[in-house]
Amino acid sequence: MRVAPGRRARLPAVLIVAGLVAAGCGGDGAPVVSAPTESTSAPGTAGAGAVPAPNVPLAPPSLPAPAPTGGVAIGPGGVPVAVVGGSDGQWRVRTPCEEEVVRDAVSYLPAVEVVVDPGHGGSEAGAVGPGGTREADVNLAIAERLVARLRSAGRTAVLTRTGDYQVSIASRAELAVRAGATVFVSVHNNTVPDGPAAGPGTEAYFQAGSPDSRRLAGLLHEETSITLSTHEVAWVADTDAGAKPRVNSAGTDYYGLLRQAAGVTSVLLEVAFLSNPPEEALLVDPAVQDELAAAVGQGIERYLTTGDPGSGFVDPYPRAMGVGGDGTAGPGCIDPPL
């Protein structure tokens, strides 16, 4: 197997059971501490001939702890949601369908290094392979393995969805922003290629105008392409496969997920073509899902710990409009039990 220049050894496959521990913290990640008060004795009442008590200033009132406006809360149902206010035990959160509710008895993470977004979910199956494989299911399988690997490496990582339920694009992006994530990766599989190709047709979309997002996309494309190339199948691809931006008519990011996550280094990754039978067979294989999770994890780790530039950068050809909206929750969106 050819190893790209600057590529490091892969992370070991480690199985973990990770629990999230509650921490009472403010929106900036600092512990929630009430303002200190100054203890003073009130002066006594002066009697006849008594010396007046000195003018002792009153102690300032005790101030309530500031309500956080960031972080991730995880309820008994295990669903991660963005915190928009509240305090320990009574968090105000944004649900996957964009409802603002108060939840108690949850774990709270004031900040997260990596947010991993399994694309689609619920009624939004995404692409469906010729064998009936739903993209949403493959996305989740890879993302779960990826988060497990990141946690085993000591990274704080969460998913935007933990089951087969709908999450609006706006909610996915808001979770990454309010978590203060260093890296946000959305995992997808592709469909409708231009035609046969000599190798894997992975596409990694980065935020236009962001050198950090561009570098992350190049590293993810590099790692996943090398991993997939170890398998000999009849590949398909778009003619502009690679790491690239995609902009709308206003010159901003076409994909609402990348646009709304501005300020967080984000990449939308399209790994292999689910519509191609040989590639569908790869994507449903748990061993290949592990390989892809390891490849994406390696790309993230290289981004966080090295200055490696990545590779596979291309200029995209123009595409017709279609899925570049803001992705707000529709009337049919049903929240999972939190």
Residues 233-285 pLDDT 10s: 999 999 999 999 999 888 899 999 999 999 999 999 999 999 999 999 999 99
Angstrom distance (rounded) from CA 267 to CA 255: 10
- Domain identity same for 245 and 300: yes
Six token digits for residue 308: 């490696």
Range of the domain at 94: 67-110
Grouping H, G, I as helix, E, B as strand and the rest as coil, residue 251 is coil
Residue 314 lies in a domain: no
pLDDT at residue 231 greater than cutoff 60 = yes
Residue 1 lies in a domain: no
Note the helical H segments in the chain.
135-152, 169-178, 211-228, 256-260, 277-283, 286-305
- Domain identity same for 143 and 212: yes
**CB of 226 closer than 8 Å to CB of 2:** yes
Grouping H, G, I as helix, E, B as strand and the rest as coil, residue 65 is coil
- Domain identity same for 126 and 153: yes
**CB of 20 closer than 8 Å to CB of 74:** yes
Confidence of residue 320 (pLDDT cuts 50, 70, 90): low
Which positions ≥6 away from 65 have C-beta within 8 Å? 26, 32, 33, 34, 87
Residue 155 is part of a domain; what is its CATH number? 3.40.630.40
Of the three residues 110, 142, 165, the one that is the final residue of a domain is: 110
Instruction: Report the pLDDT averaged over residues 68-82.
Output: 90
- Domain identity same for 124 and 255: yes
Inter-residue long-range contacts of 55-60, CB under 8 Å, 24+ positions, other chains counted: 60/35
- Domain identity same for 160 and 84: no
Angstrom distance (rounded) from CA 115 to CA 265: 10
| Distance spanning both ends of the chain, measured CA to CA | 45
- Domain identity same for 91 and 164: no
* pTM greater than 0.95 (yes/no): no
**CB of 212 closer than 8 Å to CB of 265:** yes
Which pLDDT belongs to residue 67?
A: 53
- Domain identity same for 244 and 147: yes
Residues 110-131 pLDDT 10s: 999 999 999 999 999 999 999 9
